[in-house]
């Protein structure tokens, strides 16, 4: 926009290749336009999708790549047309920072499904510069893709809501999975799964965690508040639970057979796929036909739903269960996430690292 302001240089932690190793990287932020907000990053959660992008599992990665799409920060500057935010306000940025604004998805408040969506990182801004994520000191984001953090929500708690939280909240609303007393299964108890337990409980559902081991059982029942816990390898218990659930949210990030889980659904039950699995999954059709079951997918949520998720969690006092770490620990945190060794989301204290000093 013909800005005369000088370009801002920031430092982030970037992957340089598909090894995914993150190290300090200094780059220039795009110039602030009239609709933009500059956000100084305070916290940023680590999502399993960051691993997928850093390691080029989808074959679409560009480097250097600064990941991070559960960003909580403070507004430090606003463009001349920004009415929604003030300097000093706490805000959040999730998985997308742009869309076309004219397609049916954009017009229907479903900009996450816009084919011209701009990902928060590993994508290209309208001005041709690469987008870079939240493991960095600051970001420039169009106000439409920024949400407000409610005052009573601790900032580190808010970070996982910006991807993991809205990823379960949106399909729950869309598929009508909010009727108290209905039975919901959460398959895979990681970052997304644990928000699934918390948010489903806040809607009044009966929640069964379906996990690959019994390691998380006590915590799931006693701390997260799940009502039941199934270990997927326990054939006898899985058989006992046949046709008992109305919905399952599947967050497993690797290839897995669907039959054992479809068999848990009642007639009209829905299996909502949330995990990003680049390989084909397997099921036989009678498991769908003889029970009018459905398999669906869902991708994060709209900006409206992202704000709703934050407001809902603030109102219902839904908290995430996190491990806060410093940026100097980020590579270890990524390794632990690969090994399924986190309860249940890493949140990086970006501000404490004084990246620009
Ligand atoms: P995560 O924290 O790593 O959790 C995944 C969970 O899946 C693990 O905690 C584990 O739960 C289970 N799991 C892991 N490896 C497994 C294996 N080999 N076999 C069976 N179960 C396994 O990941 P996340 O951040 O929650 O993300 C989950 C998935 O959702 C990822 O694929 C991510 O890319 C995707 N995602 C999608 C969206 C969307 O919009 N649809 C948004 C965010 C993330 P148990 O220990 O209980 O078995
Ligand atoms: Zn994510
Ligand atoms: Zn669009």
Per the prediction, the chain carries an average pLDDT of 96
Structure tokens at 211: 């996990």
pLDDT at 255: 96
191 in contact with ligand 1, CB cutoff 6 A: yes
CA 213 to centroid of ligand 1, rounded, Å: 14
pLDDT class for 219, splitting at 50, 70, 90?
A: very high
Structure-token pair, residue 261: 């889980």
pLDDT value at position 282? Answer: 86
Q: For residue 192, what are the contacts with CB-CB under 8 A and spacing of at least 6?
A: 47, 48, 163, 164, 167, 168, 249, 251, 274, 275
β-pairing verdict for 71-78 and 36-46? antiparallel
CATH class given for the domain over 165-297: alpha beta
Please report the pLDDT score of residue 3 as a whole number: 47
- Does the structure show a pLDDT above 80 at 247? yes
Q: Which residues, by Cβ under 5 Å, contact ligand 2, an ion?
A: 47, 49, 163
Instruction: For Cα atoms 123, 128, 131, give the angle at the middle one, nearest 5 degrees.
Output: 35
| Distances 34 to 30, 73, 184, 256, 299 between C-alpha atoms, Å | 13, 20, 44, 47, 29
Which ligand does the CA of 230 lie closest to?
1
211 lines ligand 1 (CB under 6 A): yes
Among 303, 318, 312, which Cα is nearest to 157's?
A: 318
Distance 313 CA to ligand 3 centre (A): 28
Q: For 11-57, how does the pLDDT look when each residue is reduced to its tens digit (9 = 90+)?
A: 999 999 999 999 999 999 999 999 999 999 999 999 999 999 999 99
User: Would you say the CB of residue 183 lies under 6 angstroms from ligand 1?
Assistant: no
Average pLDDT over residues 55-61: 94
% of the chain at pLDDT higher than 90: 95
**Residue 170 CB less than 6 A away from ligand 1:** no
pLDDT for residue 336 is more than 50: yes
**Does any ligand 1 atom lie closer than 6 A to the CB of residue 188?**
yes
Cβ 300 under 6 angstroms from ligand 1: yes
Residue predicted with more confidence, 6 or 313: 313
192 close to ligand 1 (CB < 6 Angstrom): yes
**Residue extents of the structural domains in the chain:** 9-163+321-353, 165-297
Least confident of 6-10, 168-172, 254-258, 271-275: 6-10
* pLDDT band (50, 70, 90) for residue 355: confident
CA atoms within 13 A on the CB side of 16: 5
175 vs 278, which has greater pLDDT?
Answer: 175
- Going from the Cα of 200 to the center of ligand 1, the distance in angstroms, rounded, reads 17
Task: Using the predicted structure, report yes or no on whether residue 342 has a pLDDT greater than 70.
Answer: yes
pLDDT band at 2 (very low <50, low <70, confident <90, very high): very low
Tokens of 151: 């005052």
pLDDT greater than 50 at residue 173: yes
pLDDT band per the 50, 70, 90 thresholds, residue 356: confident
Cα Dmax for the chain: 69
| Banded model confidence at residue 179, pLDDT cuts 50, 70, 90 | very high
Q: What's the CATH superfamily of 9-163+321-353? A: Medium-chain alcohol dehydrogenases, catalytic domain (3.90.180.10)
Q: 190-202, pLDDT tens digit by residue?
A: 999 999 999 999 9
Cα gap 45→100, rounded to integer Å = 27
157 Cβ closer than 6 Å to some ligand 1 atom: no
Measured CA to CA, the distance from residue 64 to residue 23 in angstroms comes to 10
pLDDT of 85 > 70? The answer is yes
Atom of ligand 1 nearest to the CA of 232: 48
pLDDT at residue number 6: 65
How many angstroms separate the alpha carbon of residue 62 from the centre of ligand 3? Answer: 23
Asked whether residue 80 carries a pLDDT value surpassing 90, the answer given is yes
pLDDT at 5: 62
pLDDT recorded at residue 110: 98
User: Ligand 1 pocket, 252 CB below 6 A?
Assistant: yes
């Amino acid at each position: 926009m013909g800005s005369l302001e000088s370009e801002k240089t920031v430092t982030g932690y970037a992957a340089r290749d598909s090894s995914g190793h993150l190290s300090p990287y200094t780059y220039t932020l795009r110039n602030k336009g009239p609709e933009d907000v500059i956000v100084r990053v305070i916290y940023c959660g680590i999502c399993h999708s960051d691993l997928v992008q850093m390691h080029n599992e989808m074959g679409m990665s560009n480097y250097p790549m600064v990941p991070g799409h559960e960003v909580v920060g403070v507004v430090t500057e606003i463009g001349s047309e920004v009415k929604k935010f003030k300097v000093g306000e706490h805000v959040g940025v999730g998985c997308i920072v742009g869309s076309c604004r004219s397609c049916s998805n954009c017009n229907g408040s479903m900009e996450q499904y816009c084919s011209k969506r701009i990902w928060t990182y590993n994508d290209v801004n309208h001005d041709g510069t690469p987008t870079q994520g939240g493991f960095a000191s600051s970001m420039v984001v169009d106000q439409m893709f920024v949400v407000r953090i409610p005052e009573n929500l601790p900032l580190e708690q808010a970070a996982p809501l910006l991807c993991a939280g809205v990823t379960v909240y949106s399909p729950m609303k869309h598929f009508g999975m909010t009727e108290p007393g209905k039975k919901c299964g959460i398959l895979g108890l990681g970052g997304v799964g644990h928000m699934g337990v918390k948010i489903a409980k806040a809607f009044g559902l009966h929640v069964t965690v379906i996990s690959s081991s019994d390691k998380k059982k006590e915590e799931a029942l006693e701390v997260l508040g799940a009502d039941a816990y199934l270990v997927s390898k326990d054939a006898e218990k899985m058989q006992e639970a046949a046709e008992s659930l109305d919905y399952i949210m599947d967050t497993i990030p690797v290839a897995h057979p669907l039959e054992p889980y479809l068999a848990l659904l009642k007639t009209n039950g829905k299996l909502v796929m949330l995990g990003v699995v680049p390989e084909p999954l397997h099921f036989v059709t009678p498991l769908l036909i003889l029970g009018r079951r459905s398999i669906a997918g869902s991708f994060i949520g709209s900006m409206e739903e992202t704000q709703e998720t934050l407001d809902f969690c603030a109102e219902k006092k839904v908290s995430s269960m996190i491990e806060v770490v410093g940026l100097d620990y980020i590579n270890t945190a990524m390794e632990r996430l690969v090994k399924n060794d986190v309860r249940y989301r890493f949140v990086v204290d970006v501000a404490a690292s004084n990246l620009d000093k």
